[in-house]
Structures are given as C-alpha cells and as structure tokens.
Amino acid sequence: MEEEQQGIRTEICSSGKEKPKSDQLEFGTIFTDHMFMMDYTADKGWHDPRIVPYEPLNIEPSAMVFHYGQSVFEGMKAYLTSDGDAQLFRPQRNFSRMNHSNSRLCIPPIDEAFALKALKQLVGLEKDWIPEAEGTSLYIRPFIISTEAFLGVAPSSHYKFIIILSPVGAYYKEGINPVKIAVEHDYVRTVKGGTGEAKTGGNYAASLKAQEMAAEGIAQVLWLDGVERKYIEEVGSMNVFFKIDGTVVTPALNGSILEGVTRNSVIQLLKYWNVPVEERKLSMEEVIQAHKDGKLEEAFGAGTAAVISPIGELVRGEKHIEINEGNTGAIAKRLYDTLTGIQYGKIEDPFDWVEKVKDLKQTTLKASG
C-alpha cells in the first residue's frame, strides 16, 4: 500500500510485528514497523523522502561510512500522555544540533522544519508503539550515513538520512536509582578542536575501551579534559552536574562537550526555581575537596536516554567518593519529576517545550485501504 502525504511517500507494511510488554522493556533492542528515509546526492540534494517498512539496508561494502566513519546521529523521545496523546520534547533543538554535527563532519545540512514534519508523520503512524508503563517512551534515533562507494578520504557525495524508532525502558538498569561512575585517567574521549561537541559515532567508539576496562558495577566513565586531564567534561551518554555548597555547577561548553538538550532544560529549570547554577570549568580536585569539606551535596547526569541519573559514587583508582550517602538528592529528584512531568503531560509546561503529534494510524490506514 503506497500513498503520498505532505510530499512524503508512505509505504505501509501490512504485517505488524508484535508489540512488547511495556513493563519489560530494555533500552534499544526492539524497533517499530516503519522508518523514515531520504537520500542525498550532489546533483539532486536531499530527495525522495519516504516512510517505508523497517528492514535491512542495501548498502555497498565500499560505502564510505564503513571506512571513515562519516556519520552523525541524534536521540530524542516520544511520550504518551494519560489522555492518550503523543508528544515530543524540544525536537527542534535536536535537528538544529544535528546540523551543527553535520557541519563538523562535512555532511550537507538537512531542512530542520522538514525533518520535524517527517518525524511527526512517522511517530503519528507508529503511535501504537509508544509504550504506556511509567518511565517508558518511544526512543527516536535520527541518523545520517555517508553511502558513496569510494575508498578515497574525502567527504562523500551520497548520504542517507534515516529515522528509526524503538520502544524503551530505562537506559541504566539502576533506573532512577544512583549509579556508580568511574573517573577515567588513561583514556580521553576527545580534545578541543576534535569532534567532541558533534554527535558522531566515532566519539562513542573512542569511549568503549575505558568502559570495558572499568570495574564491575560501574555504569559509565566520567571523562576529564584531554589536555590536562584535570577538568570534568561529561559522561558520554549524559552531561554532568555537581551541587557544591548550594550551587549547581556544570562544565561550561568548551568545544569538546556535547550541548545536551536535557542539560539546557536543567539549567533553565534551575534558573526558574532560583537555584544558583553555574556553567564553568570544574576540576576533579575541586569536587574531591568539596567532598572532604562536606560540601559536595549531590551529583547527577542528564541526557535524553538517561533523563536524570543520580550519581551515588565516584570511583577514582582506589578512592571511592560516596555522594549524598549513595542516595538520590532532592534537586535530582525534583528535576526528574518536573522533566518527566512535562514530557508525559502531567504538569504544566511553562516553557512551551512539548509538541503534540497527531495520530495518523487511522487516517493512513483508511486512505490506503
């Protein structure tokens, strides 16, 4: 069954997959029936936008992405409200960040407004896949890969922009419970002038070794700056915040830290609540000293996948720094409740962050059947 909706060719697949039980979801293992795709060639620009059944891609082994890693991605979520509506959280920021990453990776920019329209159409069609259980959502993964069949090192002249959807539960098995994070000393994630503030696969590949070497029970590693190995950067799957003597401090964006959408939302909420918040350089020594002085009150990570993830313990070599006696702090809890409250439509959204998505399943099926 094929039709055209708002310039997007839509091919409905007839055999729907079985939906998972929403209270048993893990992160990123199940994918929905359809995906969005469009192509880029140097002569036509971005073209042939389409929603098609989710299936393996047919790509040449010589496609440049496999060899030189020219790719970018984003992460966002669709939430189901108690009224049964689907909504997105600040999706424009993700597409605008995608273009920022595109620019760093020499990938041609996408039309952000069109990408949002395509996303809404895909999510509207797959609305039945948004899980209902508390803390679950439909994770959205837009990504671009270079597909030209060529082994020279140069920007590709062919790309695919794809959006896939995955019903998910909590990113960390700990859920909202505090995680243990190891401070990384031997490896670095990126340096200034590198690709750290772009969301590109290579940054994540570079992070795997440290994660593998970290001890059992460590959820993630905390990266320090790549030059002095002194200043805190981010965790890789989330930005980090430390509450020191009443002030919430987060590393300033310095060119090697990802500008998180949740990070920005946390800062806005803290300002709105008149909680002192600072974006600045923060050394590991300062955190250790604050802990010694009894002034390290809380630590938490913030990201789309992780939401707000309290940090109960920092491990640095033999040293273990327990934070807030390993418990979730009051600020982390308030942020989690407020962000998820806005995302699931349970509380008022004073910032106009959420965007409703129309249910298209019925109209599309009627139109095509």
Binding site for ligand COI (CB under 6 A): 75, 204, 237, 303-305
Min dist. Cβ of residue 257 to ligand COI (A): 14
Min dist. Cβ of residue 231 to ligand COI (A): 22
Min dist. Cβ of residue 237 to ligand COI (A): 4
With a CB cutoff of 8 Å and minimum separation 6, the contacts of 294 are: none
Min dist. Cβ of residue 215 to ligand COI (A): 21
Residue placing its CB nearer to ligand COI in the complex, 87 or 304: 304
Residue placing its CB nearer to ligand COI in the complex, 68 or 73: 73
Min dist. Cβ of residue 112 to ligand COI (A): 18
Residue placing its CB nearer to ligand COI in the complex, 249 or 258: 258
| CA 195/CA 147 separation, integer angstroms | 20
Min dist. Cβ of residue 207 to ligand COI (A): 9
Residue 90: φ, ψ to 5°: 50, 45
Output the CA torsion sign for 77, 336, 262, 173.
negative
Output the CA torsion sign for 135, 136, 137, 141.
positive
Q: ∠ at Cα 40 (34, 44), nearest 5°? A: 125
Residue placing its CB nearer to ligand COI in the complex, 90 or 291: 90
Residue placing its CB nearer to ligand COI in the complex, 75 or 196: 75
Residue placing its CB nearer to ligand COI in the complex, 127 or 263: 263
Min dist. Cβ of residue 307 to ligand COI (A): 9
Residue placing its CB nearer to ligand COI in the complex, 304 or 340: 304
Q: What is the DSSP string of 144-181?
A: EEE--B--SSS--SEEEEEEEEEEE--SSTTTTS-EEE
Q: Pairing relation of β-strands 76-80 and 137-146?
A: antiparallel
3-state helix, strand, coil in the chain (%, to 5): 25, 30, 45
| CA 174/CA 326 separation, integer angstroms | 12
Min dist. Cβ of residue 84 to ligand COI (A): 25
Residue placing its CB nearer to ligand COI in the complex, 296 or 342: 342
- 311: β partners: 179
**CA gyration radius, the chain:** 21
Q: Pairing relation of β-strands 307-316 and 179-183?
A: parallel
Output the CA torsion sign for 53, 56, 57, 58.
negative
Residue placing its CB nearer to ligand COI in the complex, 232 or 321: 232
| CA 262/CA 353 separation, integer angstroms | 11
Q: Which residue is nearest to ligand COI (CB)?
A: 75
Min dist. Cβ of residue 305 to ligand COI (A): 3
| Of residues 316, 266, 254, the one with CA closest to residue 291 | 316
